[in-house]
Amino acid sequence: MQNALGAVQSLLVLGGSSDIGAAIADRLVPGGCRIVVLAGRRPEAMEPVAGRLRAAGADVVLTGWDAVDIGGHADAIKAAWDAAAIDIDCVVLASGVLGDQSQLEEDPTAAADLAVANYAGPVSTLLHVARRLEEQGHGTIVVLSSVAGERARRSNFVYGSSKAGLDAFAQGLADRLVAAGVRVVVVRPGFVRSSMTNGREPAPLATTPAAVAEAVAGAIASGKEIVWVPATFRYVMAVFRHLPRPLWRRVSGNI
């Protein structure tokens, strides 16, 4: 249960080795989060994050979760709740795959796999999470969407469309859960310097995992439901969303 000051005391990160997910945990632990469950498919990649969080004072448990193993999601979410052994205040969906657009266009199976990892798998997972939070009667789900989902770009529309689907799903889930006292925060970062973008040329308004974490912590505390990082993207995308398609093709080819 979030404490009297609204601080998260228990956290589940789905995609426990994610740079952004880890940064959110790094930000919440000093604020009073005492129990962290890192769920993912590679314990060896989550262990360094766990070590850092333990050094900061949290009890940390690693559990298994694979976004594409839809049949395993019920057990994985049960295992996460069992590992926490208390109600979970906040669940962060931080997993995702960017992929290489030209390779994905050449390999339709790989493109469909990316859609499962970024959209279909999270849909299944978040429905299991939603049921748990409804039973608790409280909690916050944080979903890592992207500005890429706001308007598809020629250069990454496989990834962008998966994020558009996830973003729409998260908004609908928020509407379902609000009556149960459960909130959903949709986070739309631009280019974040992380393992996902390593080796790529930073886009305009590039930011950091720590900045995303700061914005997420602010939203959890304030009740904000949509978070752009940096905040300027709210206005930039409001313009981009309405550009005529021929103009958007020209503009988006340069970002």
Ligand X SMILES: NC(=O)c1ccc[n+]([C@@H]2O[C@H](COP(=O)([O-])OP(=O)(O)OC[C@H]3O[C@@H](n4cnc5c(N)ncnc54)[C@H](OP(=O)(O)O)[C@@H]3O)[C@@H](O)[C@H]2O)c1
Provide the binding-site residues for ligand X, judged by CB under 6 A: 15, 17-21, 40-42, 45, 65-68, 94-97, 117, 144, 146, 189, 191-192, 194-197
C-alpha 123/C-alpha 135 separation (Å) is 19
Cα–Cα nearest to 2, from 35, 50, 27, 26: 35
**Tokens standing for 176?**
């379902």
**Alpha-carbon dihedral of residues 253, 208, 186, 8, nearest 10 degrees?**
180
CB of 9 or CB of 67, closer to ligand X: 67
Name the residue with the smallest CB distance to ligand X: 96
Tell me how far, at minimum, the Cβ of 17 lies from ligand X, in Å. Answer: 4
- Among 81, 119, 159, 240, the active-site one is 159
3-state SS class at 92: strand
CB of 87 or CB of 228, closer to ligand X: 228
CB of 63 or CB of 194, closer to ligand X: 194
Q: Is 159 a catalytic residue?
A: yes
Task: Supply the angle between the helices 73-84 and 121-136 in degrees, to the nearest 10.
Answer: 40
Tell me how far, at minimum, the Cβ of 1 lies from ligand X, in Å. Answer: 27
Cα–Cα nearest to 12, from 72, 79, 68, 67: 79
Tell me how far, at minimum, the Cβ of 184 lies from ligand X, in Å. Answer: 15
* Residues forming the active site: 159
